A and B are shown apart, each in its own frame.
Chain A
Amino acid sequence: MESVLELREVSKHYPTHRAVDGVSLSIERGALYGLLGPSGCGKTTTLRLVAGFDSPTAGDILLNGSSLVSLKPYERNVNTVFQSYALFPHMTVRGNIEFGLKQRKAPVNDLDARVQRVVDLVQLTGKELRMPAELSGGEKQRVALARSLVLAPEVLLLDEPLSALDPNLRKQVRSELKALQRRTGITFVIVTHDQEEALSMCDRIAVMHQGKVEQIGSPEDIYLRPRTRFVAEFLGAMNWFKDIGVRPESTRVAKTGTVPAVVESSMFLGNCVQVRARTADGVSLVAEIPREENHFKPGDSVGLSWNPADEMRFPQEVN
C-alpha cells in the first residue's frame, strides 16, 4: 500500500526540551492511524507539525510524496479536529461547515449539495441553523468533523477527539468514528492517551514516549508483543517476574505454582475477579481470574504461574 503521509526524522526541539525527537512514520492511505502516548510524549506536537501550526526544527513531512514543511496551514490539504472543537461561536452550524468551502479559490458550485451530504453523514440534519452554544458536546464534535470532512482532506487529524465527551458517550462515539472513517475512506490520524481507545479503533498504532516512537504496529502487535517495557506497561497492567512480564489476565493462581506468594486481597470486578498477591521479595502481583476459580482469601499461600507463550521478555533493555 502507498503511504499518504510520511514523516522523516521529524524533530521539534525547544531550548529546554525535545518535544519531538527524530520521529519517522509512514501512514497508509485510508488507514485509521493512532498516535498513542502519555501526556507530554510529543503526540499533539507531532499533529501540530503536520497541520502546520508549528514548524519542525529538523526532518521532513511529505503528503503524497511532496514536502509540506514550507507550506502554511491554509495551503495544506490536511484538516484538524481540535480537542476543544474550536467551532466559530458567531456562526451557525451551517456557517461553520461552509467556512472552508468558501475559502476555495474557485467558487464551489455544488456547495449546498456538499454541505447537505456531510450534514446527513454526521446526522445533524435539521440543526443547520443552530449556534454552537446551543449544541450538546456530541453534536459539537460532529460539527467539527463535518466542517473538516466537507473539504475531503487527504488526511484528517484528530486531537484527543473523545476526551471532551461525557464518558458514557465515548464508547458509542468510538465505533461511530470508526464507521465514519470506513465510509468516507479518508485517512484519519488520531492522537490519544487512552490505550483502550487506540486498541479498539486503530488499524495501526505508533506508541510515543519522550518525543520518540517506541513501537509501531497493529493493536495486537503492540499489546501482545510489546518491544519495550514502556510499551508493555503503557498498554495495560503488567506483572514483572524479574525480566519476564506477564499480563494479569494471563497470570494464573493455584495452591502451588512457579512463584510462591501470599494473597493480599481478592476483588470482584463483575466480569472477573482480581487477586492481589505479594511474593517473599515484596513484589506485588495482580491476577485476573474467572469468577468460578476464585476460592482465595487474604492470607492464603498460593503459587502463580503462566503459559510460556504469554511471556514478554525485554532482553535488550538495561534495567
Chain B
Amino acid sequence: MQRLRALFLAPARAVNLFLFIAPMAIVLAYSLLSRGIYGGVERPWTLESYGRLFDPLYGGILLRSFWISGLSTLVCLVLGFPMAMFIARSGARRNLYLNLVILPFWTSFLVRTYAWMFLLRDTGLINTFLQWTGVIHEPLPLLYNDGAVILGLVYGYLPFMVLPLYTTLEKLDKSLLEASADLGAKPWVTLTRVVIPLSAPGIRAGSILVFITCLGAYLTPDLLGGSKTVMIGNVIQNQFTSARDWPFGAAASLALMALVMVLLIVILRRDKEQLL
C-alpha cells in the first residue's frame, strides 16, 4: 500500500523537483552571484543585488504595481460580482454563459492584447469612429497610459474573478434570500448583509487570484503601457534582456514572490481566525 502510494506520487514529485524546485534553486543561486559582462552570472558570491532592491526607484515601481493590481482587482470584483450572480441564477443557460466566460482563453493572450492596441491607438477603431462621427476632432489618448494597462488586466483576468465567485454564489441557498426579504430587508440590505458576507470565500479567492496574476504581469504593461507605465514584471524581464543583469532580475523576482507569500499567509491566517 505504502509502496503503491509512493509509486503513483513519483511522477508528480519528479515534475515538482525538476520543473519547480530546481529552477527556483537556480534563480536563488543567480541572485547571489555577480553580473557577467555579456549577461549571465559570474563569481564572487554577493548580496549586492538584494541591496539594490531598496533603491527608491524600484520601491516606487513596486508601489505602482500594487496600486495598478489593486485597482484592477477592484474593477474585476465590481464587474465580476453581478456577472457571477447572473450566471448562478440563469438556470439551464448557466453552462452556456460559463463557457462564454472561458471562451477568450481559447486564443493567445498576446494576440488579444494586440487586438486592444488596434482598438485603442490614435488611428485605431475607437478613435477613427469617434472622429468620423464628429464627436471629437483630435484622437483621444487611449493607449500607453495606466488606464489602458488596467483595462488590459481587467479584460485578461476577469474570468479568474468570475469563476470562484460563481462557485460560491451558485451554492448560496436561495431560501436565505427569501428569508431576508421576508424579515423586511430591502434588496440592498439583503445584498450587503446576506449575499456578500456569505460569498466572502469566493470574493477572497477571486481577489487573490486576480491580484497576484496582475502583480506578475509584464506583457500587458509592456504593450499597452508603453514606456510610461512600468510594473515590477517589466523591471524583472528587462534585467534578463536588455539590461543583462541576471543577478538583479533573479533577486527582484524572488523578492516579489516572498512579498506575495507573506501577504497570502497574513490573509489566510486571518481567515482561519474568523472561522474559529
Q: CA–CA, A54 to B144, complex, Å?
A: 52
Is A168 engaged at the interface, CB distance under 8 Å to the other chain? no
Question: Are the C-beta atoms of A73 and B176 separated by less than 8 Å?
Answer: no
Is B173 engaged at the interface, CB distance under 8 Å to the other chain? yes
Question: Are the C-beta atoms of A100 and B183 separated by less than 8 Å?
Answer: yes
Is B189 engaged at the interface, CB distance under 8 Å to the other chain? yes
Is A171 engaged at the interface, CB distance under 8 Å to the other chain? no
Is A250 engaged at the interface, CB distance under 8 Å to the other chain? no
Question: Are the C-beta atoms of A151 and B175 separated by less than 8 Å?
Answer: no
Question: Are the C-beta atoms of A147 and B183 separated by less than 8 Å?
Answer: yes
- For residue B173, which residues in chain A have a CB less than 8 angstroms away from its CB? 84, 86
Question: Are the C-beta atoms of A74 and B186 separated by less than 8 Å?
Answer: yes
Is B11 engaged at the interface, CB distance under 8 Å to the other chain? no
Is A104 engaged at the interface, CB distance under 8 Å to the other chain? yes
Q: CA–CA, A209 to B148, complex, Å?
A: 63
What 1/0 flags go to B181-222 for Cβ under 8 Å of A? 111111001000110011000000000000000000000000
Q: CA–CA, A86 to B175, complex, Å?
A: 6
Which residue among B175, B176, B179, B197 has the maximum number of chain A CB atoms within 10 Å of its CB?
B179
Is B178 engaged at the interface, CB distance under 8 Å to the other chain? yes
Q: Which of A135-176 contact B (CB under 8 A)?
A: 147-148, 151
Q: Which of A50-107 contact B (CB under 8 A)?
A: 51-53, 72-74, 79-80, 82, 84, 86-90, 99-100, 103-104
Q: CA–CA, A314 to B269, complex, Å?
A: 71
Question: Are the C-beta atoms of B182 and A73 separated by less than 8 Å?
Answer: yes
Q: Which of B93-118 contact A (CB under 8 A)?
A: none
Q: CA–CA, A294 to B109, complex, Å?
A: 85
- Measured as residues with beta carbon below 8 angstroms from the partner, the interface class of chain A is 20 to 34
- Measured as residues with beta carbon below 8 angstroms from the partner, the interface class of chain B is 10 to 19
B143 to chain A, nearest CB (A): 44
Q: CA–CA, A100 to B180, complex, Å?
A: 8
| Known contacts A89-B198, A90-B198; A103 and B183 CB within 8 A of each other | yes
Q: CA–CA, A99 to B183, complex, Å?
A: 7
Q: CA–CA, A53 to B189, complex, Å?
A: 17
A102 to chain B, nearest CB (A): 9
Question: Are the C-beta atoms of B184 and A151 separated by less than 8 Å?
Answer: yes
Q: CA–CA, A151 to B183, complex, Å?
A: 8
Which residue among B175, B176, B183, B184 has the maximum number of chain A CB atoms within 10 Å of its CB?
B183
| Known contacts A86-B173, A90-B198; A104 and B184 CB within 8 A of each other | yes
Question: Are the C-beta atoms of A73 and B194 separated by less than 8 Å?
Answer: no
Q: CA–CA, A53 to B178, complex, Å?
A: 7
Say which residue of B176, B179, B184, B197 sits within 8 Å of A103 (CB atoms): B184
Question: Are the C-beta atoms of B185 and A99 separated by less than 8 Å?
Answer: yes
Q: CA–CA, A104 to B183, complex, Å?
A: 10
B270 to chain A, nearest CB (A): 16
Q: CA–CA, A86 to B183, complex, Å?
A: 12
- For residue B180, which residues in chain A have a CB less than 8 angstroms away from its CB? 88, 99
- For residue A79, which residues in chain B have a CB less than 8 angstroms away from its CB? 182-183
Q: CA–CA, A84 to B186, complex, Å?
A: 22
CB-nearest residue of chain A to B182:
A80
B193 to chain A, nearest CB (A): 8
B170 to chain A, nearest CB (A): 16
Say which residue of B185, B194, B198 sits within 8 Å of A74 (CB atoms): B185
Q: CA–CA, A26 to B185, complex, Å?
A: 28
- For residue B185, which residues in chain A have a CB less than 8 angstroms away from its CB? 74, 99-100, 103
CB-nearest residue of chain B to A89:
B198
Question: Are the C-beta atoms of A86 and B181 separated by less than 8 Å?
Answer: no
Question: Are the C-beta atoms of A82 and B179 separated by less than 8 Å?
Answer: yes
CB-nearest residue of chain A to B184:
A103
A242 to chain B, nearest CB (A): 47
Return 16 A-B CB contacts under 8 Å, by A number.
A52-B181, A73-B181, A74-B183, A79-B183, A80-B178, A80-B182, A84-B175, A86-B176, A89-B198, A90-B197, A100-B183, A100-B184, A103-B183, A103-B186, A148-B182, A151-B183
Closest 9 CB pairs of A and B: A100-B183, A103-B184, A86-B179, A86-B175, A73-B181, A80-B182, A74-B181, A74-B184, A90-B197
List chain A positions with a Cβ less than 8 A from chain B: 51-53, 72-74, 79-80, 82, 84, 86-90, 99-100, 103-104, 147-148, 151
Given contacts A74-B183, A88-B180, 8 further A-B pairs with CB under 8 A are A51-B178, A72-B181, A73-B182, A79-B182, A80-B182, A82-B175, A103-B186, A148-B182
